[in-house]
C-alpha cells in the first residue's frame, strides 16, 4: 500500500512538473505573451496538480481526505479574501496583456497621471514622466478606470489658441495663421490647417489654430509653432494685445480718506 502511495506521489509530482513546463511553453507561444506571467500561471497549475497527487497518495494509504479537503477549502477562502486586491490586480494584469490598451513605450494617462509606459507587470504598470519621475499604478486601477492613450491613433490634432487685438482684421489673422502652419512640412495638407474665433475674450479676440500631424511630430510642432506665428503677425501688422483695462478717473469733493488725513494732521499739530 505504501509502495503504491509512493508511486502515485512520485508519478504525480513528475507529472506536475511536466504539465507546468508545457503550460509555460504554451503560454509563451501566445502572441501577447509575457514570460513572467506565463511562469506565474505555470506555477499555479503545477501546485494544483501536485496537490491532487498528494491527495491521491493519501487516499491510497487510506487516510480520509474529506477532512483535509474541508481545511483546504477554508484556507483557500481565507487566502482569497486576504489577497482580494492583489488578485484583482493580477486579473487586471491578465486583461491588460490580452487586450493591450497600451504597450511598452506608449504615452498614456492613467488616473490623470501622464507618462511613458516602461513595463507592464503582474501587479502594476510602471511609467516614467518626461521629467523622469517613476510612476507605479496598480493594474486594477488602470483596467478598471480611464486610460488615455496619446499615440494609439497615430495621427493627432494640435490645438493652440492665439489672441489678437480687437482692432485687427480677423480674416487676415486667420489667413496668416493657417498659411504659417501650412509652411511647416510636418503639418498635414489634408486635413488642412483650420482656424476660427473660439472666444471674444476680455482683451483679445481668441483664434484657435488646429492642425493635424503624426503623433511623433505633435510635441515638436507644439513647441515650434509660436515663434513663426508671432513673426507672421508682426509682418502683417496684427497686434497681440496686453491685458486691457479702462480706467475712469473721478474727482470727488468730499472724501472720507481725505478727511481722515486732515484730522490726523490736526491731532499731530495740536
Partner 1 sequence: MGKISEYMTPEKLTGYWEIILPSVSNIAIGLVILIIGMWFAKRIGNIVKKNAGKAPNIDATLANFLGSIAKYALTVVVVVAAITKMGIEASSLVAMLGAATLAIGLALQGTLGNVAAGVMLMLFRPYKIGDYVAVAGEEGVVHDVNIFTTILTSLDNIKIIIANGEAWGSTIQNFTSMGVRRVDVDYGIHYDDNIDKAIKIMKDVSAAHPSVLSKPDTPWAKVVKLNDSSVDIQNRVWCSADDYWDVMFDLNKSIKEAFDKNGITIPYPHQVEIDG
The nearer residue to partner 1, 30 or 82, going by C-beta atoms, is 82
Instruction: Specify whether the CB–CB gap between 46 and 20 falls below 8 A.
Output: yes
The nearer residue to partner 1, 202 or 224, going by C-beta atoms, is 202
Cell numbers given for 131:
521629467
Which residue in 2, 249, 266, 269 binds partner 1 (CB under 8 A)? 249
Min CB(115)–partner 1 separation in Å: 14
Find where cell 484657435 sits.
Answer: 208
Q: Which residues, listed in sequence order, are joined to residue 161 by a DSSP beta bridge?
A: 208
The nearer residue to partner 1, 85 or 231, going by C-beta atoms, is 85
Min CB(219)–partner 1 separation in Å: 13
Based on the shown chain and the rule CB under 8 A, indicate whether residue 251 belongs to the binding site for partner 1: yes
Site for partner 1 in 47-76 (CB under 8 A): 48, 51-52, 55, 59, 65-66, 68-70, 72-73, 75-76
Cell numbers given for 192:
488642412
Whole-angstrom distance, CA of residue 170 vs CA of residue 197: 8
The nearer residue to partner 1, 17 or 150, going by C-beta atoms, is 150
Whole-angstrom distance, CA of residue 102 vs CA of residue 144: 14
Q: How far is CA 224 from CA 154, 164, 186, 201, 246, in A?
A: 20, 19, 11, 25, 35
Whole-angstrom distance, CA of residue 95 vs CA of residue 25: 20
Based on the shown chain and the rule CB under 8 A, indicate whether residue 186 belongs to the binding site for partner 1: no
What's the start-to-end Cα distance of the chain, in Å? 122
Min CB(71)–partner 1 separation in Å: 9
Binding site for partner 1 (CB under 8 A): 48, 51-52, 55, 59, 65-66, 68-70, 72-73, 75-77, 79-81, 83-84, 87-88, 90-92, 95, 99, 101, 109, 140, 143-150, 152-153, 155-159, 166, 170, 196-200, 202-203, 205, 244-252, 255-258
Amino acid at each position: 500500500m505504501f509502495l503504491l502511495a509512493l508511486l502515485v506521489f512520485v508519478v504525480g509530482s513528475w507529472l506536475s512538473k511536466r504539465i507546468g513546463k508545457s503550460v509555460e511553453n504554451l503560454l509563451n507561444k501566445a502572441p501577447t505573451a509575457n514570460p513572467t506571467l506565463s511562469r506565474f500561471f505555470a506555477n499555479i497549475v503545477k501546485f494544483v496538480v501536485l496537490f491532487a497527487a498528494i491527495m491521491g497518495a493519501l487516499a491510497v494509504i487510506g487516510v480520509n481526505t474529506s477532512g483535509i479537503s474541508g481545511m483546504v477549502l477554508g484556507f483557500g477562502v481565507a487566502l482569497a479574501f486576504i489577497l482580494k486586491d492583489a488578485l484583482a490586480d493580477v486579473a487586471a494584469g491578465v486583461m491588460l496583456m490580452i487586450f493591450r490598451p497600451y504597450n511598452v513605450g506608449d504615452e498614456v494617462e492613467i488616473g490623470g497621471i501622464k507618462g511613458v509606459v516602461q513595463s507592464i507587470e503582474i501587479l502594476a504598470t510602471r511609467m516614467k514622466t518626461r521629467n523622469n519621475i517613476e510612476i507605479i499604478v496598480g493594474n486594477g486601477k488602470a483596467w478598471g478606470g480611464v486610460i488615455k492613450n496619446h499615440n494609439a491613433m497615430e495621427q493627432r490634432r494640435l490645438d493652440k489658441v492665439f489672441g489678437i487685438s480687437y482692432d485687427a482684421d480677423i480674416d487676415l489673422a486667420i489667413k496668416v495663421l493657417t498659411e504659417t502652419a501650412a509652411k511647416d512640412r510636418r503639418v498635414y495638407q489634408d486635413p488642412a490647417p483650420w482656424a476660427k474665433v473660439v472666444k471674444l475674450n476680455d482683451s483679445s479676440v481668441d483664434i484657435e489654430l488646429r492642425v493635424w500631424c503624426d503623433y511623433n511630430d505633435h510635441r515638436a510642432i507644439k513647441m515650434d509653432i509660436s515663434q513663426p506665428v508671432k513673426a507672421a503677425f508682426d509682418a502683417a501688422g496684427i497686434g497681440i494685445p496686453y491685458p486691457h483695462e479702462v480706467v475712469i478717473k473721478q474727482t470727488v469733493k468730499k472724501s472720507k480718506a481725505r478727511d481722515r488725513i486732515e484730522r490726523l494732521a490736526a491731532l499731530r499739530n495740536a
